[in-house]
Structures are given as structure tokens and as C-alpha cells.
Structure 1
Amino acid sequence: MAIRAALIGCGKIGQRHLQALVHQEAIDLVATVDTNLERAEAAAVAFDALAFDQTDVMLDNVDIDAAIIATPSGLHRQLAFQVLERGKHVMVEKPLALSYQDAKAIVDFAKQQGVVAVVTQFNRMLPAIQQLFQAHQDGRLGRIVNGGVAVRWARPQSYYDEAPWRGTYAMDGGVLFNQAIHAIDVLLQLMGSVKEVFAYTATLTHQIEAEDSVSGTIRFRSGALASLAATTCVPKTNLEERLTIVGENGVVVIGPTVNQIHTWRVGNDNEQEVRQAILDLPARPSWQSHHDALKDFAEAIENGVTPRLDAATALCDIAVIEALMLSGREGRIVHMSEITGENA
């Protein structure tokens, strides 16, 4: 029997979920929710679902097993708790929340309720990233000593103006939470626990409250170092989303997009063949990553297994971003214990 689910938030990212839901059978969309009822109704049509403009009203009137939260980020904790209080499974769009404490509260409450909580940090599941993960898991890179993330994207002022929540601290969080978090997530999955960070932050070309540019350094407990650069100030079109991993025995650079391998110096592998093999894969439709995330979510619910996108695995992302933003505001090194409350 299909999992009965509700989609909460039918805006731009909600549309990606709708596209992905059409291409799978494990989840049956039975309800949609949006503060704009007409938008919820439009989203519901193809699924013969019920439409609502309030989450509590939907929960009171529709029997669901799970909910997908695709709203502005600042609403994630509140809505996740509304769903979890009813004992329902929950998928949350990235970022899980805009603070470590809120994110951990979601994870802890889901565990208490005995339900599945996942977050759409699905870049981990991309073919090029999976190949990098496998090389690391097999020990082919050796000890990782250095890394880097560069996310330089184009977001014109009109992007922020068309949705007033974008570019705010309360609902968007800035360039790290909104744009760079996927790359940061992959970096942290590979390089491990962070000890401290330092960053400069700025708002340079947009009329917004939050940062549109960040340059930072991350020191890991292993002693390894990583650099971070993120901006939405690039004119016209995206420049790059690049991940660099330097091990004692190998080097990999993913980029200039996450579906390309720029550098593959691993063992005796033929670098050009590795690059070409990724390029020769069928083109991924825009909804494919959300489809992969939904499949992971459904399998965890149906089989009682830990999902690959378990929300708990994203707590490090939120903590590190929060620390980088604090460092930028206060102009000092921030130790992770200040964010998590755990001793280094």
C-alpha cells in the first residue's frame, strides 16, 4: 500500500516535489497545503488531492502517514513539530532549520516519536559524488588533509524581489543556508568533525538583509583544513559549484558542476576515462534528485531502515554554517562547542 503523504508548501521548490511525485508509485499525494489556497488547489489537481491553507486543518481532516515540508526555511521547525506531534513521518527541504538548536529539536522529537525524519541533502546521491565517496571509503585517497568548496552563483535582485522571504535572516538565512549548503554537506560528510571556523561575510550587490558573500576557513578535529567561498553576486549565469578533496594518496575535484569530475588523481585510474564515464551518463531531469530523496524516504518508512538522508546526518551542516555566520558577524574564530554545547 502506498504511503499517504501531504505536501506543505507549493511554491517553487514544492513544484519540484510535485514533478518527482508524478514519477514514482511508493508515495500517494493526498493533500496539499499552502498559505495561498489557489496555489494549493492547483497543486492538488493532478493527484486528486485535497487542498488546504492551514497545516493544522489538514492534519485534522486528512489521514496521512507522512508530510513533505517545502516552505521557506524559517518555518521548518514549526511545521515539522506540527507533523511530528501527530506521529507522522517527515521530509524537510534543506536546510533542516536555520539554527543548530532548531535542527536538533526536530531530530530529537522524531526519534522520541519513533518516526522517520529526512532532509533533502541529496547531492550526496549524485553519481560523481557517489564515486568520490566510494574512493574515500575504499581508502584510495588516504588521509584527507585539505578540502575546499566554491559556490559562485548568479542570483539577480529580481530573484530576491519575487519572493520577499528570500534574503532575510528569519526565513532564508543567507547564501550559506540557501545556496551553498549542498556543497558544504558533501565536504563535511567526507572530512568529518569540525573543531573551529573563521569567516568574513558581506552583502555586496543585493538589497537584502542577509549575506550574499562568504569567505571562510574550517579546521577539522583531524587537523585537516578547508576553504569556503560562496556568493550569489555572479552576473548573468552560475559560474561554479566546485568541491576539492586532497588526500595523502589522491586528489579529486568535482566541478564546475556537481555532475562533472574536473580532476581524478586516484591510484592508477585513467583520469580522462573517469571524467568521460560521468559525462556519458543519461542527463538527469530537474526533478531527479527529489525523486531519489523520496525513494530513500519511502524505503525507510516501509522497511524500517535508516535513510541515507537521515535528518541527524545534517546537524553538522547547520552547526558549521551557524558558526561561520557568527564568526563573520563578530570577526573572530568560533569553536563548534559554542554552537553545539558539546566539548571539543
Structure 2
Amino acid sequence: MLYFSLLGNGHIGKVHKQAIEDTEGAQLISIIDVASSSDESNTVFYSSLEEFLEKDAQTDVVVIATPNGLHKQHAIQCLKGGKHVLIEKPIALNSQDAKEILEVAEATGKRVFSSMQLRFSPPVRWVKELMENKALGKIYMVNIHCYWNRNKNYYNTREWHGSNAMDGGVLFTQFSHFIDIVNYWFEETKCTNAKFYNFNHQGITEFADSGKLDFQADEAVGSMIFTTSTYERNFKSGIEILAEKGTIEIGDQYLNEVKFFNVEAIDSESNHSTETRNFHPKAIEEIVSALETNRASALDGKYAVRLVEFIEGAHEIAR
């Protein structure tokens, strides 16, 4: 049994809380949050991280679900306090901070995991298998599209969202999973061109709400169009792959549906979609297994550094 504690009991914190409770071999034993209080007899509540680190002697993994801009500080405190950490994406808002987290982990003998749970989506893993088996031949193009809505009320009811220092922008907070999946599929990725636009969030956010990117993914060329200014509600999102021996589109907000595929030597009647939408329990299960067997994990923090470097590069090019 691995014992988990949760730092930050907001919206995403509650998602992690449920995931821990749904995972065999994992037990949530404490929650750290300035506003926390509960009648749950099996959960201890702390009003500060300092109090938790002083009093706790049982926790194996701290799940960090605080504002993006606090991830580095909180991760380092927990690592130095003798805990492994699972950091909600992004691991940090710049690559220097992300690398510092990993350096502290190495020095303390503890591990860093990042919340990149869409790596456990069956369609995502199926595409990775096709690539590894060379079933698609040469990959020509990878195109990402994300047309979402984040309205004024979204930012007004979440005080830290919208600032550069605590949020970091839509590539970090909304669309980082899509970039991470391309990183998961390819060995090397790099943004080569970027433009950002602010269509309808002027005076609401300190950053742009939309953009267009070009990138290189190994030998393939890629593009990404993204926005949070879609009218009224989310429209769609997905990734298309155009290759020598096939064409594939996977979609849905959680990349859990195969929208189209035409691949050489694969039956077009095959079904690679799934009704599963919440892959957070899969992430907790993976962390439990990786720690218990002392093996490498698809959620290891080094992969999260690649993600930050990609987004950081896009922002630098646009500036």
C-alpha cells in the first residue's frame, strides 16, 4: 500500500482525490489546503504545507495540485521533506525551474511524476504501437487542432487563472496534453514558428487566448491551431497523422476516440475507441506500480521537462 497526500483541494485536486480513492494499492491519508475541513475520519487535514511536513511521517507521495506558478516551490519542499511527488501539469512554467525540481529529486533520492494521464488513452497507445512497429511507414505530417471555450466567468471564479505568473497561458493550462502526446510519440520535437492572438480575452487574461504553431517531430512536419475563444462552449479537438501507409485522426477532449483511420493491412472495421474519459486513476495505478517495482515510468518528470521546453520555445519565437 502506498500512502498519498494531496496538496491543493480545488477543482483538479478533487479529481486526483477521486483517482486515488479509485485505485487499488493507493490510500489518501491527508489533505493540505488553507480552506480544508472535513468529517472524514480517515483523512488528516493540514492548513499549511509546513505543518504537514513537520507532522507527517507516513506519506509516500504528495500530489501537488496548487496553482501552476507554485509547482516548483511546493515540489522542492516536498522532495526535501522526504516525499515523492506527482505534479499536476505543467511541472513548472519554465525549463530552468523544471530541471531544478529534477536535480533536487536526484539529490534526495526521491521521484518526480507529472500528470500526463492521456498517455494511457487506448487510441494514443495504439498509435504509438503502430509507429514503433513501423506500420505507418514514414510519418509526413502531424496536425493538432484545439477549439475550446474559456469564458469570462471561468477566469473570474478562479483567481489565479489568467495571470502570467500563476497560470502561464493556454498552452500550459489548457492544451499541454496535446503537445505531450506528440512528445510521447516522437523522440525529438521542436517548435519552429509561433504566433499568438488575443481575440476576446483582453482585460481578462495577461496572455493570448489563441495561436498557430509549426513544429518538427523527428522527420515529420507539424502544425497546431488552438483557441479558448470558441463561441459559447468547446467545439472539438484532436490530432491528425498523415503517413506513408496510413491516415489517422484521434479526437475528443481526452483523445479517447478514433475519428478516422485508413491504415495498410489493418481492418477498417476494427474499433479502437473507448468510452473511458478519466485516465487519472490509470496515472495513480502507474505510479504505484513504478514505485513498488522501482521501474521507469511513462510519467517520469524528465518527459514533463520536454513539454515545458517546447512551450517555452514557442513563446520565445513569438516574442
TM-score range, shorter chain: over 0.9
Question: What is the match of residue 20 of structure 1?
Answer: 19
The alpha-carbon deviation at position 214 of structure 1 amounts to 1.3
- 8 Å CA contact 1:140–1:249 kept in 2: the answer is yes
Question: What is the match of residue 60 of structure 1?
Answer: 54
**Within 2, Cα distance between the matches of 1:150 and 1:25?**
35
| 1:253 pairs with one of 249, 274, 293 | 249
Question: What is the match of residue 222 of structure 2?
Answer: 226
RMSD (Å) for aligned C-alpha atoms: 1.6
TM-score, normalised via structure 2 length: 0.94
Q: Which moved more, 1:24-33 or 1:70-79?
A: 24-33
Supply the AA of the counterpart residue of 1:284.
T
Supply the AA of the counterpart residue of 1:324.
A
Supply the AA of the counterpart residue of 2:87.
V
- 8 Å CA contact 1:29–1:47 kept in 2: the answer is no
Structure 1: runs of 5 or more not aligned: 331-344
| 2:211 pairs with one of 209, 214, 230 | 214
Question: What is the match of residue 68 of structure 2?
Answer: 73
The alpha-carbon deviation at position 194 of structure 1 amounts to 2.9
The alpha-carbon deviation at position 219 of structure 1 amounts to 2.7
Partner deviation per Cα, 1:266-288 (whole Å, 9 max, x = no partner): 212233x23xx234x4x326xx3
TM-score, normalised via structure 1 length: 0.87
The alpha-carbon deviation at position 47 of structure 1 amounts to 6.0
What SS class does the counterpart of residue 320 from structure 1 fall into? helix
- 8 Å CA contact 1:30–1:47 kept in 2: the answer is no
**Within 1, Cα distance between the matches of 2:30 and 2:252?**
38
Q: Does 1:313 align with 2:303?
A: yes
| Count of aligned residue pairs for this structure pair | 315
The alpha-carbon deviation at position 151 of structure 1 amounts to 1.2
Question: What is the match of residue 333 of structure 1?
Answer: none
| 1:284 pairs with one of 268, 271, 276 | 276
Q: Does 1:130 align with 2:125?
A: yes
The alpha-carbon deviation at position 4 of structure 1 amounts to 1.9
The alpha-carbon deviation at position 317 of structure 1 amounts to 0.9
- 8 Å CA contact 1:20–1:291 kept in 2: the answer is yes
**Within 1, Cα distance between the matches of 2:196 and 2:284?**
34
Question: What is the match of residue 9 of structure 2?
Answer: 10
Supply the AA of the counterpart residue of 2:84.
H
Q: Does 1:186 align with 2:186?
A: no
The alpha-carbon deviation at position 27 of structure 1 amounts to 1.8
The alpha-carbon deviation at position 110 of structure 1 amounts to 1.4
Question: What is the match of residue 260 of structure 2?
Answer: 263
Partner deviation per Cα, 1:118-172 (whole Å, 9 max, x = no partner): 1011111101111111111111011222111111111111001101111111111
Supply the AA of the counterpart residue of 2:48.
Q
- 8 Å CA contact 1:203–1:211 kept in 2: the answer is yes
Structure 2: runs of 5 or more not aligned: none
- 8 Å CA contact 2:139–2:219 kept in 1: the answer is no
Question: What is the match of residue 34 of structure 2?
Answer: 35
**Within 2, Cα distance between the matches of 1:210 and 1:53?**
32
What SS class does the counterpart of residue 127 from structure 2 fall into? helix
Moved over 6 A (4+): none
Question: What is the match of residue 324 of structure 1?
Answer: 314
| 2:108 pairs with one of 91, 104, 113 | 113
Q: Does 1:154 align with 2:149?
A: yes
What SS class does the counterpart of residue 41 from structure 1 fall into? coil
Question: Which has more helix, going by share of residues?
Answer: 1
Supply the AA of the counterpart residue of 1:16.
V
Structure 1 residues 242 and 35, CA gap change in structure 2 (3 angstroms): same
**Within 2, Cα distance between the matches of 1:3 and 1:229?**
40
Q: Which moved more, 1:121-130 or 1:251-260?
A: 251-260
What SS class does the counterpart of residue 278 from structure 1 fall into? coil
- 8 Å CA contact 1:149–1:187 kept in 2: the answer is no
**Within 2, Cα distance between the matches of 1:88 and 1:154?**
37
- 8 Å CA contact 2:191–2:314 kept in 1: the answer is no
Q: Which moved more, 1:60-69 or 1:185-194?
A: 185-194
What SS class does the counterpart of residue 160 from structure 2 fall into? coil
Q: Does 1:93 align with 2:88?
A: yes
The alpha-carbon deviation at position 16 of structure 1 amounts to 0.4
What SS class does the counterpart of residue 243 from structure 1 fall into? strand
**Within 1, Cα distance between the matches of 2:128 and 2:216?**
21
- 8 Å CA contact 1:76–1:97 kept in 2: the answer is yes
Partner deviation per Cα, 1:43-84 (whole Å, 9 max, x = no partner): xx4462111121011011011222000111111000000011
